[in-house]
Amino acid sequence: MIAFIRGVNGYGTTHHNLSRLLAVTQMFTNDLINVFELYDKDKVVFFESLKQAYFTVRYKEGYKVDIAIVKALYTTVGHLVEVAENVYTKHLLTENL
């Protein structure tokens, strides 16, 4: 998300808070936040797990996460990358008009 934000608007953020980064992406698209389906309370658990893992893995050696969560998020994160690439490509096309 940091690379996406920088690519679309040149904003060089040093924040690593996934909720904040996702909110920044909403300035120019809702496509990324929609990937996480945060309107579905069952899916919120996965996003919260991703946030916790992203934070904890940097500070705690030997961090373990439930394999079921990893499998569920694997597809979601892959979709996030795909959507981000598509939105960025559209941005490049419209920026040059």
- How confident is the model over 28-42, as pLDDT tens digits? 899 999 999 999 988
- The tens digit of pLDDT for each residue in 11-31 reads 778 888 999 999 999 988 999
- pTM (two decimals): 0.78
Q: Which long-range contacts (CB under 8 A, 24 or more apart) does 54-62 make?
A: 54/16, 54/18, 55/16
- Residues of the domain holding 47: 2-95
Whether 66 shows a pLDDT value over 80: the answer reads yes
* pLDDT confidence of residue 77: 92
Whether 67 shows a pLDDT value over 70: the answer reads yes
* pLDDT confidence of residue 97: 64
Structural domain count of the chain: 1
Exposure on the CB side of residue 92, measured as CA atoms within 13 A: 9
